[in-house]
Amino acid sequence: MSWRKHVTPPQHGRRRRQAGPSSRKRMVVVVGLLGLTSLGLVARAFDLQVVRKQFYQSQGEARFLREMQIPVSRGTIFDRNGEPLAVSTPVMSIWANPSEVLDNDERIPQLAQALGVDAGELKEQLAKRSDREFVYLRRQMAPAAAQTVLDLGIPGINGLREFKRYYPSGEVTSHVLGFTNIDDRGQEGLELAYDDWLAGKPGAKRVIRDRMGHVVEDVEQIRAPKPGQNLTLSIDRRIQFLAYSELKNTLEKSQADSGSIVVLDVKTGEVLAMVNLPTYNPNALSDSKPGQRRNRAMTDVLEPGSTVKPILMAAALSSGKFTPTSPIIDTTGGHWYFQGHDIHDTHNYGLLTPTGVITKSSNVGAAHIAMALDTTLMYDTYRAFGLGDSTESGFPGEASGHLRIGRDWRPLEKAILGYGYGLNVTVLQLANAYATIADGGVMHSPTFIKGNDNNAKQIISPEVSQQLLRMMETVTGPGSTGTTARIANYSVAGKTGTAHKASAGGYAKSNYTAAFAGIVPASNPRLVGVVVVDNPQKGSYYGGTVSGPVFAKVMEGALRLLDVPPDNIGRWYVGGPLQSPDGLVGNKAPVDAPIDDAPIDEDTP
């Protein structure tokens, strides 16, 4: 048998067919996979574009679409003559996205240098707030300084436009105006009282930001900004500055603890000036203490002492039991021992008319008058003049003072109330009471807003008002307690007051409140001024000698600034209204009458 018969030839064709799928099958697979992929893409696109379109749009907008506040300027505060007292200036605040800044931490030292802070502290601050997207790094920078920081181009660093309050008059008007916080919202004074009026309402807009936080497009305005409205005050900056200067000089000379001045327009009740010392600079608030920011004329109370005697006399004249010249009151000896208490004068004034009680500031005479009055009438008169009640000025934190209900008065308390102890008032309350006397017995609610309509009501009759003015005019006449409050060529009606300050267990022997309250011109009242100096330590402590000169200098300047014509040219060169047992002698002293211009000591309890 041949060997070829036993050898099987190789099957080359069959093996090639079994090596894998044919090209046709491979094509089918590829096409199928492409089809499935396309279908998946279509399905995914449908899901993204239709089914979950709203969700993904909101997610995208959350990352790049932002709602930004449109800052608005706070309204300007003007004085009555249009001079700016508080203005808002544009500033820039620097803020950061901490995580983005930390991703470029090699640039933090450069950022810290531009901001003027320590690099280590800045990095630590950013690390603590890395979970946030917005962190202030520095507020209210000058625009040029802030732009220097932004020009560094550090990722995550952005600027925000804001406004900062500036007070051109500084400490002179600080207690009236108050101040705002870093967010430009009122915190004290009229800035707080009229915050809604001044602040306005910020607008809002929707913008697109890139991943660096930069605004690349404004999409739409959501809410239009509404700038704050301007406010014109009754304050006259010129009189305010004059009052500040004179009060400051007096406090420095007398080494007093504090002082206040209030000047009112008689016909309207508008506050033309209100000054307190110590004071503070609202442009450098961090340098001040809380006690310096207190508007003492509104928030602090004092016992008015003898400055309350004209109000007592208003009750006396209204009762019909007294006239300016009768009855004669016996103050002989200068002491009245009443219910175990020594009511005394510093001099023995003998027999006095009611006018004489005002002229000489007799505590004994005032106590006798108080005890002769019906308690209800006396209490109602004190209350009608606003003692123990708010003036309704609208100033934040205004104190109402204190006056006990009349039915609870004990006899000794009633006598002491006649010369200004046992009650508390604010400086504004006292000024408003004198303005009521000056305006024919009509009381106005004090206001800090120029031209503001306020309540007015008749408190006492015009006749009583005129009688009181003539009686109070003698206080600045020869031999009285207020000669230092005279103003050349103008008649002045007023009253001095020197009161011991209350202390634990009674009254301090060497601590006083020196006050003067006056009206000018007395013949046709235009202005009322009250000056209070607390605890003068050097020189005199009497109201006439400490506060009287301040009143005269401030009012003299105010009358000139307001062009109020003189009413008393040359009158005091030959003397003034004199007091005798028979009453008022007249407007001029006899030629041969001695003229004593030295102020007498004023009575204290």
Residues that are catalytic = 306
H-helix or E-strand spanning residue 496: strand 493-503
Pairing mode, strands 583-584 and 203-209: unpaired
378, 312 in Cβ contact below 8 A?
yes
564, 272 in Cβ contact below 8 A?
no
Distances from the Cα of 502 to the Cαs of 44, 338, 345, 426, in angstroms? Answer: 86, 21, 19, 15
159, 167 in Cβ contact below 8 A?
no
β-bridge partners, 11: none
Peptide bond before residue 327 is cis, with ω within 30 degrees of 0: yes
* Token reading at 369: 């008058």
Pairing mode, strands 77-78 and 231-232: parallel
Contacts of 451-456 with C-beta under 8 Å, sequence gap 24+, read: 451/232, 452/234, 452/270, 454/268, 454/269, 455/392, 456/269
Contact residues for 439 (Cβ-Cβ < 8 A; gap 6+): 266, 267, 465, 525
Neighbours of 587 (CB within 10 A): 16
Nearest C-alpha neighbor of 366 from the set 603, 548, 582, 576: 603
Nearest C-alpha neighbor of 177 from the set 103, 253, 235: 235
> What is the maximal distance between C-alpha atoms in the chain?
186
C-alpha to C-alpha distance for 418 and 265, rounded to whole angstroms: 27
C-alpha to C-alpha distance for 448 and 199, rounded to whole angstroms: 18
Q: Taking the CA of residue 4 as centre, how many other CA atoms within 13 Å lie in the half-sphere pointing to its CB?
A: 1
Q: Taking the CA of residue 423 as centre, how many other CA atoms within 13 Å lie in the half-sphere pointing to its CB?
A: 32
C-alpha to C-alpha distance for 512 and 502, rounded to whole angstroms: 9
* Token reading at 493: 């009606």
Residue 522, Cα to own-chain centre: how many angstroms? 31
Contact residues for 358 (Cβ-Cβ < 8 A; gap 6+): 309, 310, 313, 471, 472, 474, 475, 495
Distances from the Cα of 119 to the Cαs of 96, 136, 502, in angstroms? Answer: 15, 16, 55
β-bridge partners, 342: 337
C-alpha to C-alpha distance for 124 and 309, rounded to whole angstroms: 66
Q: Which residues of 490-528 are buried (b: 16+ CB within 10 A; e: fewer)?
A: bbbbbbbbbbbbeeeeeeeeebbbbbbbbbbbbeebbbb
Q: Which residues of 541-552 are buried (b: 16+ CB within 10 A; e: fewer)?
A: bbbbbbbbbbbb
